[in-house]
């Protein structure tokens, strides 16, 4: 079996075209919000009670991600001495930086 380099180039150019179109229509903070929602749902007892919203840009960031959870699960998201929420914030910032965005994350009940 041999690889045809021309076929690979055609497939790669099709993928590149799709990515450029998606970039113009994507939501600021979308990737970070999806990552935060996934992690929050893994940490709580009631995954269906987790709600993640993206608020418009503020002066110091491009997007504010607000994570809401059931009252009994908010403590799980915050963690002892706030270590869990700090880790969530760090991962959300890293996910946002992939798209060149500065995001902040808050957990509310």
Question: Which domains are delineated in the chain?
Answer: 28-108 (3.30.300.20)
Asked if the model's pLDDT at residue 58 lies above 80, the reply is no
Quote the CA–CA distance of 105 and 109 in Å, as a whole number.
14
Q: Which residues contact 36 (CB under 8 A, 6 or more apart)?
A: 52, 65, 67, 88, 91, 92, 95, 105
Helices 71-78 & 83-98, crossing angle to 10 degrees? 80
What is residue 6's predicted lDDT score, i.e. its pLDDT? 57
d(CA 99, CA 94): 9
**What's the CA angle centered on 93, arms 88 and 96, to 5 degrees?**
125
Provide the pLDDT for residue 51. Answer: 94
């Amino acid at each position: 079996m041999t690889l045809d380099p021309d076929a690979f180039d055609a497939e790669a150019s099709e993928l590149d075209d799709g990515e450029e179109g998606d970039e113009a229509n994507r939501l600021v903070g979308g990737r970070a919000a999806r990552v935060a929602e996934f992690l929050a749902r893994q940490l709580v007892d009631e995954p269906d009670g987790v709600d993640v919203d993206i608020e418009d840009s503020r002066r110091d960031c491009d997007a504010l991600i607000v994570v809401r959870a059931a009252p009994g699960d908010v403590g799980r998201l915050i963690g002892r001495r706030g270590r869990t929420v700090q880790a969530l914030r760090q991962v959300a910032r890293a996910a946002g930086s992939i798209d060149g965005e500065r995001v902040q994350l808050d957990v509310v009940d």
